[in-house]
Structures are given as structure tokens and as C-alpha cells.
């Protein structure tokens, strides 16, 4: 049974490496089509997994994948060698899957393109592939093995026996067992737990925080809210507004309101723990370090920070 696949067809050309580029992190490896400007080049899943998200980045901190631009697929391939692995495919011209889909190695998930923050031709046609370990919204490179962050895609794929540009994507049907007794695994069904708030309240919360609009389903709004919460803990992505999600929301709302009582830039009081809230925590830590705050300058609203504000610790 084949488990791993090249993400791009043979003949694709290496164009840009993972690492520091133009003074910032290039969080992936780029490959151009076999002929410069060639359209219609397919993009494939490197391993069986679940499509965690699709969308379009604007190169901003609050994007689903921070500081990435263009049309993308974010693929969760599960745990390998003790590390939770996710694959980012960027600058696509077309996406052939949707969030929640299960895919197999070699399955076509899109078409190589040049999409960016502003349009379809912001960049020359190429494929960007990023590999993240142990983080659902990474920003920095992983400092060591097992640490959360981006890692070198070319080296990681090589460790799986894949040389991009030389190897051909495997045929999707080759990923199923040939044993006569085998049965295909059913696609996972959406969670069926009960919401602890009514849907009107949930939708108002999610829309106010910028996770969608009135045309989106409640399922999608909750999914976006849960996926985008980055500090201090990541929520379970079950698309149900359960007790833990509600506790996270209520605690974050108290945190934001109390921080706005202190000097500095005020932030929206929306119960949404993303980049603005994280930045405000770090700002207050720096302003009060050595005085009211005696903890680390880490941007985390931990027990020492909560004690300074006079609020309860994060609800575990």
C-alpha cells in the first residue's frame, strides 16, 4: 500500500528554498511548472488526511494561515513519528476539495497558480508547499525536532522517499488495500453534540468576531471560531459550541474587558482570542514588567498575568 506521494508532477522545477528570504521566513519550498508560465499543472495530497481548511490568505496576521497569501488548501495528515503534521498548498489557481473532505495520497486537490492577496496573477505560476508540525496556525520555524512550527518540506519529503520534481504522484487508487476482505473507511460525520447556547447567540458571537456572515451555516461559523483561537490553548475542533468552547469565549471576554481597563491600545471585546488579544497581553506584560507583572514576556495570559489583572485562570 502506497502511503506517500509527490505533491507535484515530475518535471516541476525547484525555484525557492525554505528559510530566510528577503529578511523574513519563507515558510515553505516553491516549485515552478515544467515550463515557465505553464498552466493546468496538478497539485496532489502527499498523504491521506482531512482537509482542515481552504480559502484565500491576504498576507495578514489574522488569516487562517498567518502571513500567507493566495488561494490555499490546509491538509491535516495526522500524527507521524509522534508529531502532528499539516501540509499547506499555496497560490493555487483552483481548489478541487472542500473543508472536511478526506483524501488519499496522490489525490488531486487543486491546480498550480499564481494567486496572491490581490489577484490571480500576483505571482508567476508555481506551487508553494509548507509543512507544519504540532501547530494549527504556525508563524515561526520550528526551533528543534518536535517543536511547533514550520519545517523544511524538501528534507521532510525526502525522509519519506519523495524527491519533488523527479517522482510522479502516485495513483489515488493505489492507496487502498488489495485484500478481498478490506472495506473502505467511512467519511467522518460532523459532531452531533449539543450546543450550550442557542444558534442565534452563537451566530452573533461568531459574526461579530469576523468569522463569517449571515450566509454561512452555524457549523462553519463555529468551525472557524474554534480553528482560529490560538492562545492560550487550542480548542477541540468539533464544530459544536459545547461547554469548553463557551468557557473559552466567556473567559476571553473577561480578559479583554479587564485589559481595556489598563493603559494602552484598546481592543475589541468580542471573546475572540487571536492576534490582537495576544498582542495586547504582550503589550501589558512589557508595560508592567518588574512592577505589577513579574512573569515572563511571552504574550501568554498565564496564572501570573491573570493574577495581575485580578481574573480567574484559563478554564482547563
Residue scoring higher pLDDT (188 or 75): 75
Predicted pLDDT of residue 180: 35
Q: With bands split at pLDDT 50, 70 and 90, how would you rate the model's confidence at 227? A: confident
- pLDDT category of residue 299 using cuts at 50, 70 and 90: confident
Backbone angles phi and psi of 153, in degrees to 5:
-65, -40
For each of the domains in the chain, give its residue range(s) and CATH number, in order of start.
13-173 (2.70.70.10), 199-309 (no CATH)
Instruction: Record the cell numbers describing residue 58, joined without a space.
Output: 491576504
Quick one: pLDDT at residue 1?
44
Asked if pLDDT for residue 220 goes beyond 60, the answer is: yes
pLDDT at 192: 54
The rounded distance, in Å, linking the Cα atoms of 176 and 109 is 18
Beta strands in the chain (DSSP E): 13-16, 19-21, 24-26, 29-32, 42-44, 49-58, 69-80, 83-90, 92-95, 102-103, 108-112, 127-133, 149-151
pLDDT score at 183? 47
6-48 pLDDT tens trace: 999 999 999 999 999 888 999 999 999 999 999 999 999 999 9
Query: Hey, is 102 helix, strand or coil?
Result: strand
Helix axis angle, 275-288 to 243-259, nearest 10°: 40
Please give the backbone phi and psi of residue 185, each rounded to the nearest 5 degrees, phi first.
Answer: -75, 135
Q: Cell triple for residue 275?
A: 492576534
Which pLDDT tens digit goes with each residue over 60-94? 999 999 999 999 999 999 999 899 999 999 999 99
d(Cα 6, Cα 239) in Å, to the nearest integer? 32
Q: Give the least confident one: 15-29, 161-175, 183-197.
A: 183-197
In sequence order, what are the residues at sequence separation of 6 or more whose Cβ sits closer than 8 angstroms to the Cβ of residue 57? 63, 64, 65, 67, 68, 69, 70, 72, 90, 117
Grid look-up 489574522 returns 62
- 258, pLDDT greater than 90: yes
Task: Identify any residues that bridge with 53 across adjacent strands, giving them in sequence order.
Answer: 74
Helices (H), the chain: 153-159, 199-208, 218-228, 243-259, 275-288, 303-309
User: What is the model's pLDDT at position 274?
Assistant: 86
Amino acid at each position: 500500500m502506497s502511503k506517500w506521494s509527490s505533491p507535484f508532477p515530475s518535471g516541476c522545477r525547484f525555484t525557492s528554498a525554505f528559510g530566510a528570504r528577503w529578511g523574513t521566513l519563507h515558510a515553505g519550498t516553491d516549485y515552478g511548472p515544467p515550463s515557465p508560465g505553464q498552466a493546468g499543472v496538478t497539485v496532489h495530497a502527499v498523504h491521506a488526511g482531512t482537509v482542515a481548511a481552504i480559502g484565500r490568505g491576504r498576507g495578514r496576521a489574522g488569516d487562517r494561515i498567518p502571513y500567507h497569501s493566495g488561494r490555499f488548501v490546509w491538509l491535516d495528515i495526522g500524527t507521524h513519528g509522534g508529531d502532528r503534521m499539516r501540509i499547506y498548498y499555496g497560490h493555487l489557481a483552483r481548489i478541487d476539495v472542500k473543508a472536511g473532505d478526506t483524501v488519499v495520497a496522490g489525490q488531486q486537490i487543486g491546480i498550480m497558480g499564481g494567486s496572491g492577496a490581490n489577484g490571480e496573477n500576483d505571482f508567476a505560476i508555481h506551487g508553494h508547499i509548507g509543512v507544519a508540525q504540532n501547530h494549527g496556525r504556525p508563524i515561526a520555524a520550528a526551533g528543534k525536532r518536535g517543536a511547533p512550527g514550520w519545517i523544511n518540506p524538501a528534507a521532510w519529503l525526502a525522509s519519506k522517499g519523495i524527491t519533488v520534481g523527479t517522482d510522479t504522484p502516485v495513483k489515488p487508487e493505489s492507496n487502498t488495500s488489495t485484500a478481498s476482505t478490506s472495506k473502505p473507511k467511512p467519511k467522518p460525520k460532523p459532531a452531533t453534540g449539543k450546543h450550550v447556547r442557542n444558534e442565534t447567540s452563537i451566530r452573533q458571537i461568531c459574526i461579530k468576531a469576523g468569522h463569517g456572515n449571515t450566509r454561512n451555516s452555524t457549523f462553519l461559523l463555529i468551525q472557524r471560531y474554534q480553528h482560529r483561537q490560538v492562545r492560550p490553548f487550542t480548542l477541540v475542533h468539533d464544530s459544536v459550541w459545547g461547554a469548553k468552547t463557551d468557557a473559552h469565549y466567556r473567559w476571553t471576554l473577561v480578559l479583554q474587558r479587564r485589559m481595556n481597563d489598563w493603559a494602552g491600545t484598546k481592543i475589541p471585546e468580542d471573546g475572540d482570542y487571536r492576534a490582537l488579544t495576544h498582542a495586547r497581553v504582550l503589550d501589558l506584560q512589557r508595560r508592567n514588567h518588574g512592577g505589577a507583572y513579574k512573569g515572563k514576556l511571552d504574550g501568554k495570559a498565564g496564572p501570573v498575568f491573570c493574577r495581575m489583572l485580578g481574573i480567574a485562570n484559563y478554564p482547563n
